[in-house]
Structure 1
Amino acid sequence: MAERPATLEQPRPNPFRAMGFMLASFVLRIIQFVLIVTGMAVGISTVVVWIGIPILIATTGYVRWSADVERRWLRKALNTPVPDAERLPTEGASLLRRWQTRLTDPTTWRDLLYLIIVFPLGVAEFAIGVAAIPLLPLAIWVVPWIGWAHGQLAISLLGPNQTKRLEIKAQRLQSSRARGVDAAEAERRRIERDLHDGAQQRLVAVAMSLGRAKSKFDNDPDAVRELIDEAHMDAKLAVSELRDLARGIYPAVLGDRGLDAALSAQAAKSPIHVDVEVTIDRRPPAAVETTAYFIVGETLTNIAKHAGATEAGVKVWRSDETIVVEITDNGHGGAEIRPGGGLAGLADRAATIDGVITVVSPQGGPTVIRADLPCTW
């Protein structure tokens, strides 16, 4: 299986961790803002008498250190995939030369911009977090979106520069193509195996029965009749197996009636209760519908076998040019994408159309599996 490169796709964070982040950040934002603004103001105003230079050096170091702390905290609290900073090297240089290098490093100024912006943002988030506590049911839905928006700001300012982002995207696209080829090859082998073990054997039996009937046509009419009946039964079974195989490639209900009907049919066959909600204004491309259909089907099968769940939910909606498929269950959790595992297979299937699978499954549950499937690629 192709190696998965780094990605900057960010899932919605856990609502309680996001709320904790918003509340705990308030004091930190005040300390950061006061120290940075005070250090810059005092340093700049006293630089003419040289006292300001060590103050500015210390302030610059504090900005970089604070931004690195933010990166680690964002990854832990909001599940934001912001990597460690890539800075210009300063090893072996003198103190003033290191400071000069840091001042010419674009990462330093992006760190500073982020820390300045998040002060008023942190005040607003604290107010929202406090107001959200009495309205917990509403907050569980709203707060993750606020955390997601904060994460997007962090990715844009604390994440890689534009060149690095393009490199990451190119690596992801290359990996998606490779995984798509792997998935297509695996599907070809499955179809070939099913044909060989099923319909092909039935058709061979039909040919043999008809051959035996032909040899006895003139001498034993009763035996001929039995052989023809046997061949007829095998032919019907072969047609049924071919129909099932075709349905596995592209189900007729999906082509005729769309995702809502197809997913409802899947849910009806599940041994556990499954709620289905599909809200899509216009039908997406057939490749997207097919990918969403099989992701839901394979996920529901895995839930019934391994999750220990009693109920599940499937929601599908359109967000701009992306179809979002979200499957939840009340099982014991602990699911993760492992090489060669079932969830890795879902990720490979989504990758064939440059889609992304996200899994949030803490121990004890609940589990949320989300697929973001672009409608244009």
Structure 2
Amino acid sequence: MYPRTAWQAMAQRPLSFLRSGWPWRSLAYLATGAVVGAAAVAVLVTGLVAGLLLLVVLVGVAPLVGVVLSSVVVATVERYRLRLVDLDGMPSPHRPADGAGFRGWVSTRLTEQATWRELLFTFVSAAALWWLDLLVLAFSFGLPFLTFRSLDGTTWPWAVFGAVVLLASPYTVTSWAGARAALTRTFLAPRDGELGESLQEVQASRVRLIGSFDAERVRIERDLHDGAQQRLVSLGMMLGLMRLDIPDGSPLAARLTAAEEQLAAAHQELRGLVRGLNPPVLADHGLVAAVQDQASRFPIPVAVDLRLPGRLPRQLETSVYFLINEVMTNIARHSGARSARVYGRYHADVVVLEITDDGHGGAEPGAGSGLTGLADRLTALEGRMRVSSPVGGPTLIHVEIPCHFA
């Protein structure tokens, strides 16, 4: 899977990551962040000072409004910069202006919650983020430069330390770039109701798609249970009645026995299929019990550590179960693992799952591993997935899915 973020690139391919463009993209992200942050400080300080000094004559309102609106510009620049370390980008939360001209645009922006979140982000960026960008860059490159410059017979241990810091700089820079990007998303990502009509329709279609899959799965399960399964039971009864009319030791009796064995095997496979389509334990006892039940029948040992504050919403619970089930099926078919682990927690309106195995690794979506299907399923749930699967193993699949408990 080609990584979509700098963090994914570093986690999936920690060695080949050094030969990719991601370290340079992360470096550009932090360097431009320092420049944008310094500019934001200048604008904020100038606007606030001018506004407060002129506020006594009511003229200072304009500079203060300018400070608020400047945060929209800062946020727009941040969304462009985010593409350096996150290829998915981030849409703007702003709606079209209600009125014509600059005055209509200003009026619309001042009434949007997104504008005030962007103002808060601008203050955070000016007060802390750009300083941290500079600190990381100074530590990663400035410190090695100083140690090399002062190199003599007594300071060689510091030179060794500087060399280690310099060699680790791609990982240091990328780690902070990924953390900074995640924080930026927290502030600037659109909230419900802030997306454009086209994107809202895409989200609604995803919800309908998941619902239709769920309904279709339930219908197939019901048809198999009430149709094919009942016919197999009736066929078994007919074979039993036929046995009463066949003398013992007849050649036909042996064939009848073979037919009954094949029928029992088909019935058992159909029951497993029906149980997999709509597991009763999931509906009756929830996700944790269903995953534990699935793990108990898995061909290799699976440690299950799922802790949730309660039952997930029904549709999400079903989707998460089948997602875990699909990952476990991939492990059984492709990984050659001797053990696996399913870990799950709920943090800050996000369900976090980590599924690991000790197989031979090398999982790639384009190689028939099933990861593409998982990514598509997560996209419909507005979730995200990171995969770490170096050749030789182990494999880690990290999943984050938004979830709001009632």
Do these two structures clear the TM 0.5 threshold for a shared fold by scoring above it? yes
Residue in structure 1 matched with residue 385 of structure 2 by the alignment: 359
Change (3 A) 1:15 1:140: farther
TM-score by length of 2: 0.57
Counterpart amino acid of residue 191 in structure 1 = E
1:105 is aligned to 2:136: no
Residue aligning to 1:6: none
The correspondence for 2:184, drawn from 150, 163, 172, is: 150
Instruction: Note closer, same or farther for the CA distance 1:23–1:258 as it changes in structure 2 (3 Å cut).
Output: farther
Residue 163 of structure 1 deviates from its aligned partner by 5.1
- Secondary structure of the 1:258 match is helix
Cα distance in 2, alignment partners of residues 346 and 121 from structure 1 = 37
Superposed CA RMSD in Å reads 5.7
DSSP 3-state at the match of 1:72: helix
* Normalised TM-score (structure 1): 0.60
Letter in 1 for 2:383: I
Given candidates 79, 86, 89, the residue that maps to 2:95 is 86
SS at match of 1:179: helix
CA 1:324–1:62 in 2, change beyond 3 Å: closer, same or farther?
A: closer
Deviation string 1:204-259 (CA, Å, 9 cap, x unpaired) is: 54344345445x35xx4444754763565355335523442344132769969836
Q: Corresponding residue for 2:305?
A: 278
Picking from 377, 395, 401, the partner of 1:346 is 377
On the 8 A contact 1:359/1:367 being kept in 2, the answer is no
In structure 2, distance between residues paired with 1:332 and 1:99: 54
Partner SS state of residue 26, structure 1: helix
Q: Secondary structure at the match of 2:383?
A: strand
Q: What is the CA–CA distance in structure 2 between the aligned matches of 1:226 and 1:139, rounded to whole Å?
A: 74
From 79, 96, 100, give the equivalent of 1:71.
79
Does 1:179 pair with 2:228? Answer: no
The verdict on how the C-alpha distance between 1:186 and 1:142 changes in structure 2, with shifts beyond 3 A counting, is: farther
Aligned residues: 337
- Please state whether the residue corresponding to 1:296 is helix, strand or coil: helix
Structure 1 gaps of 5+ residues are 1-10, 336-340
Counterpart of 1:293 in structure 2: which amino acid? Y
CA distance in 2, matches of 1:87, 1:114: 22
Confirm or deny: 8 A CA contact 2:362 2:389 kept in the other structure: no
Asked whether the equivalents of residues 37 and 129 of structure 2 are also in contact (C-alpha less than 8 Å), the reply is yes
Q: Which residue of the partner structure matches residue 34 of structure 1?
A: 42
CA contact (8 A) 1:327 1:369 kept: yes
Cα pair 2:239 2:260 within 8 Å, conserved: no
Counterpart residue number, 1:126: 133
Aligned mates of 1:138, 1:266 — CA distance in 2? 43
CA distance in 2, matches of 1:166, 1:360: 28
Instruction: Give 1:152 deviation, angstroms.
Output: 1.0
The C-alpha deviation readout for 1:123-159, integer Å capped at 9, x for no partner, is: 453267459966988998887555423321223xxx4
Q: Which segments of 5 or more consecutive residues in structure 2 lack a partner in the other structure?
A: 11-21, 141-164, 367-371
2:194 alignment partner, SS class: helix
User: Are the aligned partners of 1:42 and 1:55 in contact in 2 as well (CA < 8 Å)?
Assistant: yes
